[in-house]
């Protein structure tokens, strides 16, 4: 199986490049490929002739998307739809990374894949519209929604928390947003299995379990053996340009149907801290 990872220098893309074995895996990223440039994408895909395209490239600055809406939709919606059209012309399968931000966060039980989309932010809208467009162009594509991703090799919540502990005796972290942390290594392994099984449709993939950002931060500090105080605060006290879902836990049922089960987020965090230390 020949695989093209678009966005291979990012947090997830780099993990996929490390984890994917027993396949011919090639990575492309800026400046070699820009998903906003349909002609360039088609040239690269035709040259590589992949069986699968895994599209991890995205504009993921959630607050930045609020003030750069044109860029957000160009990268997160129009680019992926263009890639899907190329995949269709070239006979390649497509796996697209989406997000829990397509939901409004008003549920109190894990979101299923068929729950209605109702994004509250520009980032969420750009991803939701991409999902709809992809399914129209390439109905057999696989859309993997994930949440709260962290890992080595890029900016993520645990990395930010650990850096802040070096300069602050105490940290204020929101305690009224609940979701599911996802380790890039575990997500990569799930994606590889999905591609090998020829998965299609929408799949939710996160580490098992749920927590608030405050609980996540507390576990990070504890796991790193630090004495920094972590204090719970409300979202109102830590106002951000883009609204966040109050609850965005994703159900694992769709992933489990493929026989794939991801470890608990606490176990994933322990392995992340070990990887980061080494």
Residue 153 reports pLDDT greater than 90:
no
Residue 250 DSSP code = B
pLDDT of amino acid 19: 97
Is it the case that residue 86 has pLDDT exceeding 90? yes
Predicted pLDDT of residue 154: 85
Closest C-alpha to 139, from 101, 87, 189: 87
Contact 67, 241 (CB under 8 A): yes
Catalytic-labelled residue, pool 101, 123, 247, 272? 123
Closest listed residue to residue 132, CA positions, set 187, 80, 83: 80
Q: What's the average model confidence in pLDDT over 55-71? A: 97
Domain boundaries, the chain: 2-155+181-208+249-263
Residue pair 201/257 in contact (Cβ under 8 Å)? The answer is no
Please give the pLDDT value at position 276: 94
Mean pLDDT across 9-33: 95
Q: What is the pLDDT of residues 232-275, one digit of tens each?
A: 999 999 889 999 999 999 999 999 999 999 999 999 999 999 99
Look at the pTM and tell me if it is higher than 0.95: yes
| pLDDT, mean over the chain | 97
Long-range contacts of 84-90 (CB under 8 A, 24+ apart): 84/133, 84/134, 84/137, 84/138, 84/141, 85/38, 85/137, 85/138, 86/38, 86/41, 86/42, 86/45, 87/45, 87/53, 87/138, 87/141, 88/137, 88/138, 89/42, 90/42, 90/45, 90/46, 90/49
- Residue 239's pLDDT is 86
The DSSP 8-state label assigned to residue 208 in this structure reads B
Question: Which pLDDT band, with edges at 50, 70 and 90, does 22 fall under?
Answer: confident
Q: 182-234 pLDDT, tens per residue?
A: 999 999 999 999 999 999 999 999 999 999 999 999 999 999 999 999 999 99
CATH code reported for the domain at 2-155+181-208+249-263: 3.40.50.720
| Paired sense of beta strands 142-146 and 93-99, if any | parallel
Residues forming a β-bridge with 232: 173
Contact yes or no for 195/52 (Cβ under 8 A): yes
Catalytic site includes residue 123: yes
Rg (CA), the chain: 18
């Amino acid at each position: 199986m020949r695989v093209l990872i678009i966005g291979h220098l990012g947090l997830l893309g780099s993990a996929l490049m490390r984890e994917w074995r027993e396949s011919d895996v090639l990575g492309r990223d800026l400046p070699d490929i820009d998903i906003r440039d349909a002609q360039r994408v088609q040239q690269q895909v035709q040259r590589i002739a992949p069986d699968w395209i895994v599209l991890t490239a995205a504009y993921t600055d959630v607050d930045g998307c609020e003030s750069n809406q044109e860029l957000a939709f160009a990268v997160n919606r129009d680019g992926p739809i263009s890639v899907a059209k190329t995949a269709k012309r070239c006979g390649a399968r497509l796996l697209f990374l989406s997000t829990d931000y397509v939901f409004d966060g008003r549920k109190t039980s894990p979101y299923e894949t068929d729950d209605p989309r109702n994004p509250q932010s520009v980032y969420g809208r750009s991803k939701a519209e991409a999902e709809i467009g992809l399914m129209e162009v390439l109905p057999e594509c696989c859309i993997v929604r994930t949440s709260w991703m962290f890992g080595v090799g890029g900016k993520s919540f645990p990395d930010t928390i650990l850096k802040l502990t070096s300069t602050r005796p105490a940290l204020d972290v929101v305690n009224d947003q609940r979701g599911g942390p996802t380790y890039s290594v575990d997500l990569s392994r799930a994606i590889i299995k999905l591609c090998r099984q020829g998965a299609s449709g929408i799949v939710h993939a996160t580490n098992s379990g749920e927590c608030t950002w405050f609980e996540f931060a507390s576990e990070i500090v504890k796991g790193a053996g630090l004495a920094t105080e972590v204090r719970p605060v409300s979202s109102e006290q830590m106002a951000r340009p883009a609204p966040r879902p109050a609850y965005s836990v994703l159900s694992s049922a769709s992933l489990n149907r493929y026989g794939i089960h991801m470890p608990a987020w606490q176990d994933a965090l322990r392995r992340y801290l070990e990887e980061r230390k080494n």
